[in-house]
Amino acid sequence: MEYAALGLFGLFLVSFLAATLLPLASEGVLLYFLIIGFDPWMCWLVATLGNTLGGTTNYFLGKIGHPDNLKKRLGSAERFERFANYTHRYGFWLGLLSWLPFIGDPLVLILGYFRTPFWPLLLTMTLSKGIRYAVILFLWNQ
């Protein structure tokens, strides 16, 4: 695996890219780094930071977009209204779902489109992503 040659920067890069809309599995890369002997807590920190910054990129990509573009992508005004209602009702708390495969990354993009307050969202995103990697470390140590 070539990214291992980059050391922790490789883990950061994969974790960052995995939080964008690219289909990468940062969990597998984290496990690989643990297997080859990297410090578990440093790996946790780097993976959490990279994945959170990748999610932040999604947020700002959504924020610079116009909600009309999202309306077109979702296909119907009904669907758009449903997403708008969810984001206005639950707001930054939806950041707790940002770690989920397949839906987490587009969700953060949509939260950016609907101008969800950034700092509380950053907190919930960091928390959820950090817990996911901490669970992996915990299971690794079993």
pLDDT digits (tens, 9 = 90+) for 105-141: 999 999 999 999 999 999 999 999 999 999 999 999 8
Q: Do 10 and 3 touch, CB atoms closer than 8 A?
A: yes
For the four alpha carbons of 113, 119, 122 and 123, in that order, the dihedral sign comes to negative
pLDDT digits (tens, 9 = 90+) for 3-37: 677 899 999 999 999 998 788 889 999 999 999 99
CA angle 99, 119, 128 (to 5 degrees): 20
The domain limits of the chain are: 2-140
